[in-house]
C-alpha cells in the first residue's frame, strides 16, 4: 500500500480509533487527528449489545472489555408509581442466535483505552493528539485536511477522510452534509452514585422505569472495580437553568423523590442535550462519516456508540476493498446500508423506548406496559424483541441492503 493511499481520520473517540485499528490491520497507512491532548475520560456509553460484541469479538477485543466491564444477561422494566416489576428479559434466549447472549457494560473510555493499547505498536498508524481539523478540500484524486496544532497550521493529504469527530462534526459541516432531525426540549441528567441498587432493592444491572411524571434508567457500571457504580438517567426540565438542575440540593432531591428513604453518595453529575438526527449521506466524494458525526439518538436503549462501532466495521471492510482496486460504489453502499438502518432501527427504536417510559395517558400507558409484560412472558415474542433490542436484526437488515434499494 502506498503512502498516498493514506486514510485520514478526524476524531479519536471509540469510533475513530476502531476505524484506525481495522484499516491499520489491513496494512493501510492511517493518520488520525484528535483535538484533545489525550483520550477523553468519557463516561457516556456503557452498554455494548450482542451485535456489536460480534463485531468487536472478530477484532479480538471482547475478552478485555469483559475483564474491565460487567456482563449482564438480564434487563428489567418497572412501573415506578406501583413499584412493580413489569417485565424481565433474559438475553440467554438468544443463545442460538449469537455467541454473545448478554451485553457488556463497558464505559466508553475503557473501550477507547483497549483500542489504543492495540494501536500503539502499529507502525502504519499515526495517532496525533492536539490536532484539530479545521477545514477540508476535495480534489478528484485526494482530500486535504487543514489542521491546527499548538505550533501552527498544517495541511495533510489523504486518499479518503473519515469524519469520526462526534455530533458537532467539523467534517460533516465542512462537507456541507445536512444533519436532519430534531433536538428534544428536555435534556438528560445523569447522576452516578455508589448506592447499590441491586443489594438494597433487587434491581438488575439494567433497569428502565416507566413513570408519567419522571421516567428513569438505572444501570450498573464496573468503574474501577468492585463494588462498581450505578448511573441513573432522568429527564431534565427544558426551562430550568443548568445551575439549578445540578445543585447539590436538586440532585439529592431527585434521587430521594425517585428512590425515597436512602442516602446517596453522588460521585458524578452530567447534563446532556439530546438529539435525533441522521446525516443526509454518510459519503460525499472522498469524505465519509461514521459514529456520532453521522447519527445521534437519545440514549434509552444504549444504541449510539453501538451503531458507530458497527459503522466502523462496515466502512473499514469496504474502504479496504476500494483501496485495493475494488469498485468505488462500495462506499455508496456503506452509506446506504448504515444510513438506512440508522433510520429504520436506531432512530425508530430509541424514540419508541423513550415514549414507552414517558407515556402519560392512562389507557395508552396501561396498554404499553401490558404489551411489554406479554412479550416478556412469551418466549417467541421475547426472542423477536431481543433480536431487535440487541441490534442483531439491524445488522441482518444492513447486510441485505443492495444499491438497487437506492434506485
Ligand X SMILES: Cc1cc2nc3c(=O)[nH]c(=O)nc-3n(C[C@H](O)[C@H](O)[C@H](O)COP(=O)(O)OP(=O)(O)OC[C@H]3O[C@@H](n4cnc5c(N)ncnc54)[C@H](O)[C@@H]3O)c2cc1C
Give 140's DSSP letter: S
Strands 179-183 and 160-163: unpaired
Binding footprint of ligand X, residue count (CB under 6 A)? 36
Nearer to ligand X, 299 or 369 (CB): 299
x/- letters, 124..163, toward ligand X (CB under 6 A): --------xx------------------------------
Residue placing its CB nearer to ligand X in the complex, 157 or 371: 157
- Binder to ligand X among 6, 8, 9, 13 (CB under 6 A)? 13
Residue closer to ligand X, measured from CB, 11 or 29 = 11
How far apart CA 73 and CA 92 sit, in angstroms, is 6
8 binds ligand X (CB under 6 A): no
Among 54, 166, 192, 354, binds ligand X (CB under 6 A): 166
Q: Does 222 bind ligand X (CB under 6 A)?
A: no
Residue with cell 427544558: 238
- Give the Cβ contact number of residue 269 at 10 Å: 17
Nearer to ligand X, 184 or 385 (CB): 184
Does 24 contact ligand X by CB under 6 A?
A: no
| Separation of alpha carbons 293 and 9, rounded Å | 12
145 within 8 A of 158, measured Cβ to Cβ: yes
Contact status: 235 vs ligand X (CB under 6 A) = no
Instruction: State in angstroms the smallest separation of the CB of 42 from ligand X.
Output: 6
| 3-state SS assignment for residue 96 | coil
Q: Does 342 bind ligand X (CB under 6 A)?
A: no
Residue 116 CB neighbours (<10 A): 17
Count Cβ atoms below 10 Å from residue 93 Cβ, excluding itself. 18
> Facing residues of 127 across strands?
32
Residue 203, classed as helix, strand or coil, is coil
Q: Which residues contact 317 (CB under 8 A, 6 or more apart)?
A: 22
By CB under 6 A, name the one of 6, 7, 12, 395 that touches ligand X. Answer: 12
Helices (H), 164-286: 170-174, 197-201, 242-246, 248-258
**46 is a site residue for ligand X (CB under 6 A):** yes
Rg (CA), the chain: 21
Show contacts with ligand X in window 367-406 (CB under 6 A).
none
Whole-number Å distance between alpha carbons of 375 and 61:
33
Q: Which of 193, 204, 306, 349 binds ligand X (CB under 6 A)?
A: 306
Coil vs helix vs strand at 229: strand
In the complex, minimum distance from the CB of residue 55 to ligand X, in angstroms, rounded to a whole number: 12
| Cell (9 digits) for 53 | 460484541
Closest distance to ligand X from the beta carbon of 45 (Å): 3
Among the residue ranges 39-47, 65-73, 234-242, 391-399, the one whose residues contact ligand X (CB under 6 A): 39-47
Residue 119 interacts with ligand X (CB under 6 A)? Answer: no
Among 160, 188, 259, 334, binds ligand X (CB under 6 A): 188
Q: Under the rule (CB under 6 A), what is the footprint of ligand X?
A: 10-16, 33-36, 40, 42, 44-47, 108, 132-133, 164-166, 170, 188, 190, 272, 291-292, 299, 302-306, 308
Amino acid at each position: 500500500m502506498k503512502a498516498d493511499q493514506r486514510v485520514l481520520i478526524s476524531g479519536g473517540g471509540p469510533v475513530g480509533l476502531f476505524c484506525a485499528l481495522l484499516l491499520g490491520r489491513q496494512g493501510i497507512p492511517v493518520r488520525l487527528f484528535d483535538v484533545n491532548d489525550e483520550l477523553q475520560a468519557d463516561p457516556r456509553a456503557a452498554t455494548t449489545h450482542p451485535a456489536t460484541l460480534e463485531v468487536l469479538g472478530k477484532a479480538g477485543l471482547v475478552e478485555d472489555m469483559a475483564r474491565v466491564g460487567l456482563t449482564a444477561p438480564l434487563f428489567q422494566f418497572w412501573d415506578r408509581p406501583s413499584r412493580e416489576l413489569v417485565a424481565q428479559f433474559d438475553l440467554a434466549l438468544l443463545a442460538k442466535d449469537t455467541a454473545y447472549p448478554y451485553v457488556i457494560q463497558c464505559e466508553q473510555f475503557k473501550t477507547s483505552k483497549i483500542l489504543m493499547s492495540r494501536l500503539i505498536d502499529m507502525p502504519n498508524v499515526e495517532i496525533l493528539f492536539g490536532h484539530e481539523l479545521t477545514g477540508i478540500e476535495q480534489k478528484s484524486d485526494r482530500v486535504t485536511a487543514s489542521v491546527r496544532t499548538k505550533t501552527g497550521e498544517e495541511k495533510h493529504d489523504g486518499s479518503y477522510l473519515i469524519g469520526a469527530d462526534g455530533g458537532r462534526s467539523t467534517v460533516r459541516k465542512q462537507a456541507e452534509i445536512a444533519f436532519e432531525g430534531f433536538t428534544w426540549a428536555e435534556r438528560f441528567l445523569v447522576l452516578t452514585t455508589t448506592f447499590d441498587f441491586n443489594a438494597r432493592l433487587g434491581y438488575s444491572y439494567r433497569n428502565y422505569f416507566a413513570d408519567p411524571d419522571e421516567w428513569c434508567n438505572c444501570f450498573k457500571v464496573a468503574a474501577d472495580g468492585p463494588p462498581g457504580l450505578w448511573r441513573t438517567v432522568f429527564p431534565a426540565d427544558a426551562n430550568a437553568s443548568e445551575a439549578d438542575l445540578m445543585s447539590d440540593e436538586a440532585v439529592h432531591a431527585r434521587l430521594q423523590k425517585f428512590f425515597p428513604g436512602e442516602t446517596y453518595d453522588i460521585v458524578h453529575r452530567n447534563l446532556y442535550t439530546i438529539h435525533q438526527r441522521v446525516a443526509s449521506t454518510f459519503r460525499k466524494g472522498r469524505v465519509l462519516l461514521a459514529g456520532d458525526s453521522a447519527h445521534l439518538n437519545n440514549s434509552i436503549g444504549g444504541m449510539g456508540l453501538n451503531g458507530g462501532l458497527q459503522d466502523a466495521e462496515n466502512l473499514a471492510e469496504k474502504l479496504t476493498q476500494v483501496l485495493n482496486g475494488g469498485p468505488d460504489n462500495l462506499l455508496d453502499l456503506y452509506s446506504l446500508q448504515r444510513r438506512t438502518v440508522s433510520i429504520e432501527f436506531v432512530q425508530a427504536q430509541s424514540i419508541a423506548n423513550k415514549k414507552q417510559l414517558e407515556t402519560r395517558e392512562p389507557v395508552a400507558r396501561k396498554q404499553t406496559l401490558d404489551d411489554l409484560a406479554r412479550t416478556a412472558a412469551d418466549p417467541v415474542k421475547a426472542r423477536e424483541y431481543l433480536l431487535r433490542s440487541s441490534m442483531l436484526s439491524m445488522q441482518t437488515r444492513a447486510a441485505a441492503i443492495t444499491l438497487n434499494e437506492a434506485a
